[in-house]
Chains A and B, each alone.
Chain A
C-alpha cells in the first residue's frame, strides 16, 4: 500500500487560512468516509483533529475543518495562529482492512 500524498510544506501568516491536500485512490480516500487528520508538535504524539472526513472531536477548535472530493481530502485551518505550527498527517482506512497515512505536511506560521 502506498502512502497518501501530501505537500511537504505549507505556510501562512497569522490570521490567514491554509489548506492541506491528501490524495489517495479509490481503494482508500475515495472509497470510504474514514479519512482522519492528526496534528503533531515536535516530540509529541499525534493528536486527532478531524475524523470521518469533516468531524471535529470535542475540544478541537472550529478553525479546523475537513472535506473530500473524489480521491482527495483536504484540511483547512482558518485564522492561523502561532500554535498551529506543527506537522499534519492524513489517514484513511483502506479496502484491504488496513490504514494508510500521508507523508505529512509541515505547517509554518510566518
Chain B
C-alpha cells in the first residue's frame, strides 16, 4: 500500500518561500508510470493543481503559479518537494501531495495534507 506524507513548516512569513516535502513509502518513486504531484486547497474552497514531477526530473506546472513554483525529486530518499516563492496570504492553504497514474491521468493516492499559513 503506497503512502504519502507531507512535512514542512506550518507558518511562513509573507514574501518568503514555502517549502514542503512529500515522503513516499510502500512503493518506489522511481517506478515508471507515475507522476508525483502537488495540489492545494484554500480554506473552505476547492482543489487547485500546482504541478507534477516525473522521477527523471521532468516537471510541469500550473501556468497560474509557474513563475513561483519549483518541484524537485530526490529518488535516493524516495521524496519529492515543493517550493513556492514570494508567498502572500492568498497562498494559505492545505497542501496535498499525490500520486498520478500517468496512463489514466488520475490521482490515486494522496497524503493527509498539511496546512500552511502565510502570516507575519
Contact = CB atoms under 8 A, between A and B. Distances in A.
Interface of A: 1, 3, 32, 34, 36, 38, 44-48, 51-52, 57, 89, 91, 93, 96-104
Interface stretch (B9-17, B18-26, B42-50, B81-89): B42-50
| Number of chain B interface residues as a range | 20 to 34
B46 A91 contact: no
A105 B113 CA distance: 20
B112 interface: yes
Pairs A-B, 5 closest by C-beta atoms: A34-B105, A93-B105, A51-B106, A45-B110, A101-B47
A89 B106 contact: no
Contacts of B49: 98-101
Given A38-B107, A93-B105, A104 B46 contact: yes
B62 interface: yes
A45 B112 contact: yes
A52 B47 contact: no
A102 B46 contact: yes
Contact of A45 (B48, B62, B111): B111
B63 A36 contact: no
20 contacts: A1-B63, A34-B105, A34-B106, A36-B105, A36-B106, A36-B107, A38-B107, A44-B112, A46-B107, A46-B110, A89-B46, A91-B47, A91-B107, A93-B105, A96-B63, A98-B60, A98-B63, A99-B105, A103-B46, A104-B46
Interface in B41-91: 45-49, 60, 62-64
Nearest to A103: B46
Interface core residue of B48, B64, B96, B110 (most chain A CB under 10 Å): B110
